[in-house]
Structure 1
Amino acid sequence: MATIEVPGPEPDWEEAPSYQGGKRNPAFQQSLLEHALGTCRVIAGLQVPLEPLAARLRLVVERGWEDLGHASAAMFMIGRTCFGLSRTDGDTYTLVHVDRAVTDHEAALATLFAALGIDSTALAFRGTLEDGFEYCNGWTG
């Protein structure tokens, strides 16, 4: 088998997972977490850490990174609805994600709350990026 040498990066290329103002590097790296959650939308934030939520459903929490830093997440399905729970290091809330095909966010939250054994008092905020978010239960961020 022939030996093929791959040249190193060009000296002016930025690191692939970082912001690239000049876009000199032809690759922009996304994490597996960003890629997976990119198929979902945020519909709520919970005032509960990720770990007890994941423990309740016996989920495996995966570590990764995203554009805001290191994060932990668990992706799962309840029935036919795909959910994600994620928390970026330093945040005081856990994000709730659902598949973009889900249009009834209240029903999805009700399904999730029933499985988690919690109710809407756990909400820090609800809504979507497109429609805006509203704070809940006295949470102010």
Structure 2
Amino acid sequence: MAAIEVPGPEADWETAPEYQGGKRNPALQHSAWEIAGGSYRIVAGLQPPLGALAARLRLVVERTWEDLGCVDVAMFRIDRTDFALSQFEGGTPQYTTVWLDRASHDVEAAINTLLGGLGIGREALAFTGTTDTGFEHLNGWTGA
């Protein structure tokens, strides 16, 4: 059987993850998190770092990227509720974003389920809310 040679990229092509107007590269690459993230919505932020939260639940943290840069993500389920925790590399302010699957309607119950599983109280919340309702800073968190 003859080997098929695949040509290299064209010299003027951008890398697949970046978009620059009249993009010459026919591929626009998305990260796995960008695709999966569409099934979730932000509902809260936690003050503890992702590493400590993931260690508590023995989660595997995956490193991926999106247009804002590198992001660490752990996706999991507690009591039939799907969550994701994420934290941007070097992001300011530092907090862990709590994502809830869009199929879950009772956000407060979901947050309570997550906090219970993590063994922490509401004092660990930096903020709650959604992009639709707006966000409320909690527990003296200033975003710094």
Fold match, TM over 0.5?
yes
After superposition, the C-alpha distances for 1:57-105 in whole angstroms (9 at most, x for unaligned) are 1111111222211121111001211111111111300010111111111
Q: Secondary structure at the match of 1:4?
A: coil
The answer on 1:129 being equivalent to 2:123 is: no
Find the counterpart in structure 1 of residue 48 from structure 2.
48
What fraction of aligned residue pairs are identical, expressed as a percent?
64
Which stretches of structure 1, 4 residues or longer, exceed 3 Å deviation after superposition?
none
Find the counterpart in structure 2 of residue 84 from structure 1.
84
Q: Secondary structure at the match of 1:126?
A: strand
Find the counterpart in structure 1 of residue 59 from structure 2.
59
C-alpha displacement at 1:114, in angstroms? 0.6
* Distance (Å, rounded) in 2 between the aligned partners of 1:32 and 1:113: 26
* Distance (Å, rounded) in 2 between the aligned partners of 1:34 and 1:40: 10
Root-mean-square deviation (Å) = 1.5
After superposition, the C-alpha distances for 1:25-68 in whole angstroms (9 at most, x for unaligned) are 22211112222222211111111100111111111111122221
Quick one: structure 1 residues 131 and 12, their matched pair in 2 at CA, closer, same or farther if it must change by over 3 Å?
A: farther
Q: Secondary structure at the match of 1:15?
A: coil
Q: TM-score, normalised by structure 1?
A: 0.91
Q: Secondary structure at the match of 2:112?
A: helix
Comparing 110-119 with 24-33, greater Cα deviation is found at: 24-33
Comparing 129-138 with 37-46, greater Cα deviation is found at: 129-138
Q: Secondary structure at the match of 1:107?
A: helix
C-alpha displacement at 1:111, in angstroms? 0.4
Find the counterpart in structure 2 of residue 11 from structure 1.
11
* Distance (Å, rounded) in 1 between the aligned partners of 2:6 and 2:26: 16
Unaligned 5+ runs, structure 1: none
The answer on 1:75 being equivalent to 2:79 is: no
Comparing 17-26 with 41-50, greater Cα deviation is found at: 17-26
